């Protein structure tokens, strides 16, 4: 395809565009072992309006960054949508870490099994079977929240720079392994370019820290363990409701941000 044929010409552009992130925009405790009940506790944001507003602003900023990458714009619209739909959540989390958005949560009062049985009997409904999930909005568990907080804490402990965040975003954005992509060679080249740029930057700026590049890639592995549905439930459902992220991303991506 045209993208693959022009991949070599545009791959060099990625380096300078990712660096433009610098000019574009003005420790969590480990989960206790033992009884798994704690990881299944339901949590909610202490101030959902504040956190959701911050997340929405970061998402807009992130999509603006994506739109400003000429290499991304060279892709067909269908390919752009595939990439953004697959990586909006990790890109958002990287943006939250970069903007140092802290999460304050509170435990959500969830009825016990006995309460559910008694309430169901009073209303003439069938009581839920033990261990069977109840219907209703999925609230992130303590384990879900811990994974996000652990990721944020890891980023802050590394004191990741603006350029490093940009190269990490490039690595996440250009994922050639997604089913349905046609410009896989072009996208794979861009991802490789982002990783090489990150490695060169680390060797230049952090000469005494030979393990930093590996530590930054650990950040990427932490991102892969966080479910996008959890991110949507945590940051958007409290104020938007049962939002369809695909529709929202399509609208935001096609808009002139």
The answer, as to whether pTM is greater than 0.85, is no
Q: Residue 158: inside a domain, yes or no?
A: yes
Rounded distance between C-alpha atoms, residue 199 and residue 196, angstroms: 5
Per the domain annotation, does 240 fall within a domain?
A: yes
Residue ranges, the chain, pLDDT below 50: 5, 23, 26-32, 34-39, 119, 125, 127-128, 130-137, 257
Predicted pLDDT of residue 2: 54
Which tokens go with 102? 């802290």
Partners of 118 in the beta sheet?
A: none
How do residues 76-91 score in pLDDT, each as one tens digit?
Answer: 989 999 999 999 999 9
* Structure-token match 């989960």, residue found: 31
Identify the residue whose tokens are 């959540």: 89
* Position 19 in a domain: no
**CB of 58 closer than 8 Å to CB of 95:** yes
Please give the structure tokens belonging to residue 161. 């720079």
Q: Could you tell me if 87 and 66 are in contact, meaning their C-beta atoms sit under 8 angstroms apart? A: no
Task: Scan for tokens 């966080």, then name that residue.
Answer: 226
Residue 120: its pLDDT value, please?
Answer: 52
Question: What is the DSSP code string of 184-199?
Answer: HHHHHHHHHHHHHHHH
Length of the chain: 257
Each residue of 102-126: pLDDT tens digit?
Answer: 888 777 655 555 555 554 555 554 5
Residue 61 lies in a domain: yes
Residue 176 belongs to a domain: yes
- The pLDDT value given to residue 182: 93
In a domain, 89, yes or no: yes
Do 27 and 157 touch, CB atoms closer than 8 A?
Answer: yes
Alpha-carbon dihedral angle through residues 174, 176, 177, 180, given to the nearest 10 degrees:
100
d(CA 240, CA 235): 9
pLDDT at 1: 61
Domain span holding position 243: 47-105+139-255
Q: Given this model, what pLDDT does residue 47 score?
A: 74
pLDDT of residue 108: 65
Total number of domains constituting the chain: 1
* CATH, residue 229: 1.10.565.10
With respect to residue 37, please indicate whether it lies within any of the assigned structural domains: no
For the chain, report the end-to-end CA distance as a whole number of angstroms: 29
Asked whether residue 27 is domain-assigned, the answer is: no
The pLDDT assigned to 17 comes to 55
């Amino acid at each position: 395809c045209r993208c693959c044929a022009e991949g070599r010409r545009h791959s060099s552009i990625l380096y300078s565009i990712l660096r433009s992130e610098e000019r574009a925009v003005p420790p969590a405790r480990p989960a206790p072992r033992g009884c798994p009940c704690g990881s299944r506790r339901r949590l909610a944001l202490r101030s959902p309006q504040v956190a959701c507003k911050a997340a929405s602003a970061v998402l807009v900023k992130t999509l603006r960054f994506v739109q400003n990458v000429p290499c991304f714009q060279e892709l067909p619209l269908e390919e752009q949508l595939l990439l953004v739909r697959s990586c909006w959540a990790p890109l958002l989390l990287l943006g939250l870490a970069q903007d140092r958005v802290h999460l304050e949560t509170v435990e959500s009062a969830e009825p016990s099994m006995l309460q559910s049985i008694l309430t169901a009997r009073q209303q003439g409904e069938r009581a839920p079977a033990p261990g069977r999930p109840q219907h209703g909005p999925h609230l992130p568990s303590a384990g879900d929240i811990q994974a996000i907080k652990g990721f944020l804490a890891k980023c802050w402990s590394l004191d990741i720079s603006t350029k490093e965040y940009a190269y990490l975003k490039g690595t996440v954005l250009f994922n050639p392994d997604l089913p349905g992509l046609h410009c896989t060679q072009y996208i794979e080249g861009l991802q490789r370019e982002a990783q090489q740029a990150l490695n060169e930057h680390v060797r230049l700026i952090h000469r005494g820290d030979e393990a930093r590049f590996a530590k930054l890639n650990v950040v990427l592995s932490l991102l892969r363990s966080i479910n996008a549905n959890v991110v949507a439930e945590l940051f958007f459902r409290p104020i938007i409701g049962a939002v369809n992220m695909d529709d929202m991303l399509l609208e935001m991506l096609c808009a002139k941000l």
